C-alpha cells in the first residue's frame, strides 16, 4: 500500500484522464451522428447506379474489360483504416484480415498490390515489405469523393490496363453502434453486378450500350470504394466512442478502488496515532 500522498496523486491524475476520455467520447458521438447519416444517404445512389449498369450490361451484347474475368496472376487490395488509434480493435481487425488473405492467396508479397486509405494500414504494410503502390493519408472525418478520387481512379485503371487481374477491398461495415464487421468485397471484375432475384429494368440508350458502360462502370466501381469509406468512417467513430466510454468506465472503477484504498490508509494512520498517544499517556502514568 502506497503512502497517502501517492494514492491521492494517483486519484487526481486518474480523474484528469477520465475527463479527457469523457470529452473524447462526446466528440466521437457527435462525429458518428453525421457519419452515419452520410453512409446511409449514399446507399440509394449506389444501388441505383448498380441497377442501371446491370440492366444495360444484361440488355446489350456490348463487352467491357471490367465485366470479364481473366486468369489471376496479381491481385489488388484496397485497405481502409484510420489515421489515428484510440478506437479499439478497429484498425487491427482490418489489417489482420488483409494480411491473412494475402498469405493464403500468394506465395510472394509482390503478387499483392496494396492501395492504402488511412495511415495505420499504410504504415503497417509499408514497414513489413508489402507492395504498397499508392496511399491516401489524412482523409477528413466526413470525407468527400474528391479526397479519394485519384486513388479510386488509379485502382480501376490498374485493373483495366492489366496491372492486376482482380481487385478486392477490405473495410469495416457499419451495422450499428455496437456492431462493426470487417468485410471483404470484390470490386473487379464486375462478374456478379446483377443481384440474384432482382428484376432488371429495360432501358433505351444513346449512342450505344458500349459507350455508356465505358463511362458508367468505372463510376460504379469508384462509388463502391467511396461507399466503403463512408461506412468505415462511421465504424471508426463508433469504435472510438465505445473505446473512450470503456476507458472512462475503467477510470471510474479505478478511482473508486483508489479512494477506498486511501480511506483505509488514512484510517490506519489515525489508528496508529491514537495508539501512540495512548501508549505515551500510559508511560507517563
131-158 tens-digit pLDDT: 899 899 988 888 888 888 899 899 988 8
Per-residue model confidence (pLDDT) at position 116: 93
Grid cell in block for residue 140:
477528413
Per-residue model confidence (pLDDT) at position 106: 85
Per-residue model confidence (pLDDT) at position 162: 86
Residues 220-229: tens digit of each pLDDT:
888 889 999 9
Comparing 54-63, 195-204, 218-227, 267-276, the range with the smallest average pLDDT is 195-204
* Share above pLDDT 90 across residues of the chain, in percent, rounded to a whole number: 21
Q: Taking residues 23-34, what's their average pLDDT?
A: 88
Rg, C-alpha atoms of the chain: 28
* Share above pLDDT 70 across residues of the chain, in percent, rounded to a whole number: 91
For the whole model, what pTM was predicted?
Answer: 0.82
Distant-in-sequence, close-in-space partners of 87: CB < 8 Å, separation ≥ 6: 236, 239, 240, 243
Q: Taking residues 182-193, what's their average pLDDT?
A: 83
Per-residue model confidence (pLDDT) at position 97: 92
Residues 60-83: tens digit of each pLDDT:
666 677 777 888 889 999 999 998
Q: Which of 33, 17, 73 lies closest to 177, judged by CA? A: 33
Identify the burial level of 205 via C-beta atoms within 10 angstroms of its C-beta, where 0-12 means exposed, 13-18 middle and 19 or more buried: middle
Cα gap 245→174, rounded to integer Å: 19
- Angle value at C-alpha 79, between 226 and 82, nearest 5 degrees: 80
Active site residues: 87
Per-residue model confidence (pLDDT) at position 87: 85
Q: Which of 10, 6, 29, 21 lies closest to 241, judged by CA? A: 29
Q: What structural domains and CATH numbers belong to the chain?
A: 23-242 (3.40.1380.10)
Amino acid at each position: 500500500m502506497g503512502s497517502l500522498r501517492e494514492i491521492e496523486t494517483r486519484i487526481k491524475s486518474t480523474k484528469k484522464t477520465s475527463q479527457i476520455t469523457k470529452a473524447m467520447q462526446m466528440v466521437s458521438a457527435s462525429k458518428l451522428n453525421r457519419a452515419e447519416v452520410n453512409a446511409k444517404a449514399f446507399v440509394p445512389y449506389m444501388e441505383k447506379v448498380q441497377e442501371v449498369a446491370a440492366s444495360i450490361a444484361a440488355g446489350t451484347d456490348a463487352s467491357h474489360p471490367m465485366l470479364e474475368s481473366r486468369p489471376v496472376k496479381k491481385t489488388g487490395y484496397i485497405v481502409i483504416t484510420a489515421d489515428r488509434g484510440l478506437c479499439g480493435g478497429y484498425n487491427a481487425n482490418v489489417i489482420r484480415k488483409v494480411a491473412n488473405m494475402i498469405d493464403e492467396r500468394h506465395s510472394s508479397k509482390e503478387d499483392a498490390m496494396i492501395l492504402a486509405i488511412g495511415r495505420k494500414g499504410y504504415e503497417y504494410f509499408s514497414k513489413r515489405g508489402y507492395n504498397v503502390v499508392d496511399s491516401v493519408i489524412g482523409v477528413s472525418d466526413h470525407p468527400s469523393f474528391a479526397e479519394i478520387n485519384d486513388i479510386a481512379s488509379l485502382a480501376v485503371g490498374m485493373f483495366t490496363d492489366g496491372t492486376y487481374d482482380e481487385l478486392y477491398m477490405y473495410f469495416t461495415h457499419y451495422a450499428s453502434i455496437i456492431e462493426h464487421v470487417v468485410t471483404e468485397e470484390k470490386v473487379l471484375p464486375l462478374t456478379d453486378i446483377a443481384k440474384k432475384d432482382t428484376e432488371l429494368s429495360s432501358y433505351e440508350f444513346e449512342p450505344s450500350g458500349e459507350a455508356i458502360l465505358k463511362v458508367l462502370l468505372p463510376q460504379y466501381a469508384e462509388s463502391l470504394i467511396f461507399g466503403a469509406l463512408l461506412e468505415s468512417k462511421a465504424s471508426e467513430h463508433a469504435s472510438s466512442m465505445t473505446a473512450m466510454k470503456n476507458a472512462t468506465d475503467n477510470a471510474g472503477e479505478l478511482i473508486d478502488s483508489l479512494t477506498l484504498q486511501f480511506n483505509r490508509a488514512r484510517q490506519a494512520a489515525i489508528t496508529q496515532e491514537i495508539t501512540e498517544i495512548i501508549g505515551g499517556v500510559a508511560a507517563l502514568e
